[in-house]
Structures are given as C-alpha cells and as structure tokens.
Amino acid sequence: MPTLFNPADREALLARLDRLEPASPRQWGTMTPAQAMAHCATPLECATGLRPMRQRLIGKLLAWLVKGAVLGDRPFKHNSPTDKDFVVEDDRDLDAERTRVKELVARFAERGPDLAAQAEHAFFGKLDGEQWGTLAAKHLDHHLRQFGV
C-alpha cells in the first residue's frame, strides 16, 4: 500500500503532481486542478498539526463501516462525500497550490508516523501514523487521477 512515509511512493506522487496543468482534463467532479490541490492541502494541514480538527459526529457513527475500505487497496470512488471544511469553490492558482501541497507533503514526511498519529481526522478520528500515511497518499492519488496524471 503506498504511503507518504515511503520515499519512493512520495516521489512518484510528487512527480505526477508536477505533470498537473491548469488545463488538465477533469475525469469526474467539479473542481479545477488548482481547486483540487487546495482541497488536498487541507487534510495535510490537519495531519501536520497546522489545522487541528475534532472527529465529527457523523464520523463517530459511521467511520467503522467504511474505514477498512477507505484504507484498503482499492482507489477512492469518484465523487465521494467531502467534509464541508475541505470544499474549495473559489479560484486558485495552480502553481501556488502545487507548492503548498509539496511543502505540506515534505512537512508530513519529516514529522513521521509518530507525530501524524497525534492528529485527529475529521471523519475517522484517531488514526495511527501508518494509516495517516496511507490515507494521505490515496487522497493525493485520487485527485491526480481525477485529472489524468
């Protein structure tokens, strides 16, 4: 399972991120590439402690039903529900958002699994460091695939 804590997995995702263009064709959803990268930055901010969050009630009730599937081998489903705090509707600059994501990925990797485990996920609540690494990699992969990269 790819994880942002594995240097080879991380570099492969970052190389794909470099291939993302403002005009990359959307395969599903409504976000532009720049909005998708801004959207990807928000959970990384949570995982690095820059944006602390508490688990929402809906997650307390339902996370156990989907956690295994979300952290499993299959890619995320298209048009999955998004936390309202992670929705990006305003225009963004792709280069700025790409830089922000790269900086957050580096910060996440440098902090390591032990510090990632201290962050609370808005839906899943407590995750161990490896789960955070997998979830972050899968999320970034999902949005890169959204634009064919």
Domain boundaries, the chain: 7-21+29-146
Cβ proximity of 130 and 113 under 8 Å: yes
Separation of alpha carbons 65 and 96, rounded Å: 36
Q: What is the mean pLDDT of the chain?
A: 96
pLDDT tens digits for range 28-82: 999 999 999 999 999 999 999 999 999 999 999 999 999 999 999 999 999 888 8
Give residue 114's pLDDT band: very low, low, confident or very high (50, 70, 90).
very high
Give residue 41's Cα distance to chain centre: 7
Q: Which residues of 24-61 are buried (b: 16+ CB within 10 A; e: fewer)?
A: beeeebebbbbbbbbbbbbbbbbbbeeeebeebeebee
Read off the pLDDT of each residue in 15-27 and give the average, rounded to a whole number: 98
pLDDT tens digits for range 122-132: 999 999 999 99
What predicted TM-score, i.e. pTM, was given to this entire model?
A: 0.95
pLDDT tens digits for range 80-105: 888 888 899 999 999 999 999 999 99
